[in-house]
Amino acid sequence: MIEINLTDKHVLITGASRGIGAACAKSFAAAGAILYLNGRDSDKLNALCAELSEEYGVNCHALPFDVSKADDVKQGFQQLFKLTKKLDVLVNNAGILDDALVGMVTPQQVENTFATNTHSVIYCSQYAARLMQRSGGGSIVNVASIIGRVGNVGQAVYGGSKAAVIGITLSLSKELAATNVRVNAVAPGFIDTDMTKQLTPEKYQERVNSIAMGRVGTASNVADTVLFLASDLSVYVTGQVIGVDGGMLI
């Protein structure tokens, strides 16, 4: 078995209070990283930090801020800078799903979805890249989606927001490669989290039926791929989008 060791690596994960973000926090804690967990609910983040510190003996800091608001992101990174002058890994995971068929989409849905899923990736990445460059490089991992690659009915807004994350990943990877900051994305398929529990039982089954491996993915399946992209096992990998979808065909 390959062991990934991230001892002394400083890692910020957005949207870490549950789902894929919380699974990433656990995987990174198991690898010994120093964690900065973002979300909007400081009580939840503090509780998760306490649990991870106890189980894995790691340093963990709650860093609550709203990733959808540029000013809040700035303040969040100012707070981070007070805690550490070093950042090795940023996982841009926070995201929302708000489906609507064309004709039913509201400006508020568009604005909220793009602010949370897309604008946040640019704001967080640019502050993170500055910190990473100070210490010789780092790795940014963006959580995109299969919907951003192949689209889906009722998901023009969500799919657009995630396709943009892929475009941002590709552009940033070119811009930051010279300073040894790698930028990659994962594109999860259908993963069993609170987000997918929003679906009706019929839609849920329809999605499962479209997965070649015949089962829904777990948050830790995604976290394992994120961990690979964050670690030195992928030291020569940048500008890639890795599907974590069990062979899903939408």
Residue 5 CB burial class (10 angstroms; 0-12, 13-18, ≥19)? exposed
Tell me if 96 contacts ligand NAI by CB under 6 A.
yes
Tell me if 67 contacts ligand NAI by CB under 6 A.
yes
Tell me if 28 contacts ligand NAI by CB under 6 A.
no
- Sequence letter at residue 226: V
Out of 27, 93, 125, 173, the residue judged to bind ligand NAI by CB under 6 A:
93
Matching residue, tokens 């973000």:
21
- Could you tell me the sign of the dihedral formed by the alpha carbons of 163, 167, 143, 72, in that order? negative
Out of 6, 13, 17, 138, the residue judged to bind ligand NAI by CB under 6 A:
17
- Sequence letter at residue 76: G
Tell me if 18 contacts ligand NAI by CB under 6 A.
yes
Tell me if 76 contacts ligand NAI by CB under 6 A.
no
Tell me if 243 contacts ligand NAI by CB under 6 A.
no
Q: Which is nearer to ligand NAI, 34 or 222 (CB)?
A: 222
**Which member of 36, 123, 127, 158 is catalytic?**
158
Of the candidates 233, 227, 239, 94, the residue with the CA atom closest to the CA atom of residue 176: 239
Tell me if 19 contacts ligand NAI by CB under 6 A.
yes
Tell me if 15 contacts ligand NAI by CB under 6 A.
yes
User: CA-to-CA distance for 234 and 151, rounded, in angstroms?
Assistant: 28
Q: Which is nearer to ligand NAI, 78 or 135 (CB)?
A: 78
Is the distance from CB of 35 to CB of 61 less than 8 angstroms? yes
Confirm whether 158 is a catalytic residue.
yes
CB of 3 to ligand NAI, least distance (A): 25
138-143, strands of its sheet edge to edge: 60-62, 34-37, 10-13, 89-92, 138-143, 181-188, 241-244
CB of 92 to ligand NAI, least distance (A): 8
Matching residue, tokens 């990736």:
121
Residue ranges in 118-157 that form contacts with ligand NAI under rule CB under 6 A? 143, 145
DSSP assignment, residue 248?
B
Out of 40, 86, 130, 149, the residue judged to bind ligand NAI by CB under 6 A:
40
Residues 6+ apart with CB under 8 A from 180: 136, 137, 138
Tell me if 248 contacts ligand NAI by CB under 6 A.
no
Q: Which residues bind ligand NAI (CB under 6 A)?
A: 14-15, 17-21, 38-40, 66-68, 93-97, 116, 143, 145, 188, 190-191, 193-196
Question: Would you please indicate which residues are annotated as catalytic (active-site) residues?
Answer: 158
